[in-house]
Every structure is written in C-alpha cells, then in structure tokens.
Amino acid sequence: MKILHLYKDYFPVLGGIENHIKWLAEGMAARGHDVRVLVTNSGRGDRNETINGVPVVKVSRHFNISSAPIGLEMAGQLRRLGRDADIVHLHAPYPPGELAQLLVGAGKRTVITYHSDIVKQAGLLRFYTPFLRALLRRADKILVASPPYVQSSAFLRPIHEQTPEKIAIVPFGIDLSRFAEPPPQPSPTVGEGGSVKAQAAAIRACYGPGPLLLFVGRLRYYKGLRVLVQAMAQVENARCLIVGVGPLEAEIRAQVAELGLAERIFFAGEVDDAALPAYYRAADIFCLPSIHRSEALGIVLLEAMASGLPLISTELGTGTSWVNQNEVTGLVVAPEDPGALAAAIERLARNDEERRVFGQAGLNRAASEFGLEQMLTRTEAVYGEVLEE
C-alpha cells in the first residue's frame, strides 16, 4: 500500500502525536508499505528529508494561528503526493491539514486518527467546527484510541450513534521492550552509562531514601502540575521527581519554593529519550495529574505500565481511566483535587505490596493491549478494510 501521513510536525520534533506518527510510519515501512509523511517545516523554505528510511516532505511554514502552523504550499503538496496514494492518513486536530484534504480530496481512501478535541482555542473551534464535521462525515474510517473518548467527544458521539461502523478503536502502542527489559545504554544524563539498573540506582541516589513519585511530560497548563505540587504539600511519605520542560516551568518552580518543598520536589529537566527507561525504573509510583480532556490517553501511562509502576491518574472522561483501571493497575482520583491526589499518593507510598500488585497488573495490561506490533496490525487491518470497500 501507498500511505501518506499528514500533520503539522514530525520527528525530531518531540510530542505524543509526533511520536505516534513516527512509530506508525516506520513500522508500516518495515512491513513493506510505501510510506511518506507531509508536514510543515520549522521555518521558511521547503525541505525533503529521509528520516529512518521514511521520506518526509516539509512545506515552508509562513505563520501560525492558535499553535497551528500554516504552510501555503500544503494543499499543492498534498495534491502531488496524494495523487497515487491508497491511504491519506490525517492526524486531528490539525485544522490546516484537514482543510487541505477537504479541498484536495487526495488519495483513494481517507483515514483519520482523532487524537483529541480542541479544548483551549475556543475562537478557532468556532471557525473549525463545520469543516471538521464535514471531513469526519467524508472519512472512510476514524481511528480512536479508547472507547470512552468516543462517548465523551461532541464530535465523535453523533457519528458513532448514526454510523458506528465508521469508528474503529485502535489503542496506541509503544515498544514495550524498551521499558520492560531495556538494553544497556550510555546516558549523559546519569553519568557514564552501564546497565539500566545501575543508571536507576544512580538516579535514586540523587534524591534520597523513601518512595519516589515520578511525573514525565511537558509542563503545560492541562498537565495539572500546580495540583500535584499542592498535593505534595500534604504528603509526608514520598518525594516527587518531575521530568520534562515547558512553558509553566518557571511558575511551577516558584510554587515549589513558595511552599517550602524544594527538598521533596525535584526537577530533572529535559531527559534524553534513551535515558527515560532508567527514570521509570528508579521510581516507585507514576502520577499523571492532568486537569483537562486535552489529555486524551497519556502515552506516559503506557511507558510507566511497561516499567511495572503503579499509576495515579485523574478522571477526565477520556482514555486515561481506560488505560489506568482504578483499583486494578493503580488509583484514579478527581481532577483539580489536591486532597484526593495527596491521599492516593500517601496510600501507595505506605503500601509496598499494593504497589507490587498494581504494577504487575499494569505490566499484564500493557502486554495484552498496548504493544507497538498490535497497533500496527490493527491499523494495517483498517487500511485493508477500507480499500476493499
């Protein structure tokens, strides 16, 4: 099959959607398919690159509207690249890309992975809504990562009620082996390298004794870091390590200092991807305290499960509580509730056996649902189905 992915960015730009497209593109190419990617460049000028064996066309980026980069050549490149494509695979939300496909109608079939609703940009959403609904109606198949998101999305629920066969649940998948049994790798973040076990021990030594709570992700508004810091002020038996950078970093650091938590909440900054398994291995509990449904699933939850960690997450009506099953793989609490979050952290910090049971259940769930090869096989089956139709 000839497959064309369309989005705003691609690796080496890092992000949940960017990583997902990379894994799909490289995985399908390894299975013998002809895969290309169309995105915008980080600056002016068009660029053609081959990244890990995948041809990537980057159109000149002229300006941005509500974090959506606009490349004026996008529609023209989509028409050219999609002329003989079997599948044009869009990744929403990216309004310029969806508008380009509405205009061009490239490829034999259109598949959309619906990653999340637009939550924060209300002005853009008012303009975008009729176009998005039109594209969803025209799509041959809409892929969604979890059943709860279909029911909680105002865009997906009506489609499911009228034409349920148009929506396919394809859970996101990751390379589980990186976290379950990662190979020894040198890591500039934690010294001279060695085994992941040795790297994890070095990380633990940096932050003192006792249960270690881990957060991994961009420090953005919807991640709930302010709530996590407030919760840690009520916790006696754990320390917290925050891995990642982002626009709220200065604000969160100031909050930690103001509450006198600098000796119990630590910032690791941006960690190289190769070193991440050691950070998960060093922790005792993983926490994703997100407060908005912009958190559609949480790839970091999958990584933590593959590492054998018990999870703490929040009930958002999205896929996070489908991944982390309350009282099975971890605990689910209300969002924006520091007291409830603190109680969950304290409970797991005090109970070694409960952490072990939840962690093992998470390992089992990751292996059964969230492997990369499973995601590729399910996606490949969708492609074949829509082409047969």
Count of beta carbons in the 10 Å neighbourhood of residue 2: 17
Domain boundaries, the chain: 2-173+371-388, 177-369
In this predicted structure, what is the pLDDT of residue 123?
64
CATH number 3.40.50.2000 is the correct assignment for the domain at 2-173+371-388: yes
Burial letters 341-369, b for 16+ CB under 10 A, else e: bbbbbbebbeeeeebeebbebbbebbeeb
**pLDDT of amino acid 122:** 62
Alpha carbon of residue 216 to chain centroid: 11
Report the alpha-carbon distance of residue 97 to residue 114 in Å, rounded: 13
Residues 6 or more apart whose CB falls under 8 angstroms from that of 126 comprise: none
Do the Cβ atoms of 271 and 217 come closer than 8 Å?
no
Tokens of residue 127, six digits:
């303009």
pTM of the model: 0.90
Domain 177-369, CATH homologous superfamily name and number: Glycogen Phosphorylase B; (3.40.50.2000)
Extract the residue ranges of the chain whose pLDDT is less than 50.
Answer: 184, 186-192
Phi, psi at 288, each rounded to 5°: -125, 95
- Identical fold between 2-173+371-388 and 177-369: yes
What's the pLDDT at 276?
Answer: 94
Structure tokens at 329: 């793989």
Burial letters 34-69, b for 16+ CB under 10 A, else e:
ebbbbbbbeeeeeeeeeeeebbbbbbbbeeeeeebb
Q: What is the pLDDT of residue 181?
A: 59
Rounded Cα–Cα distance for residues 174 and 269 (Å): 23
β-bridge partners, 330: 311, 326
Between strands 47-51 and 54-59, the pairing is antiparallel
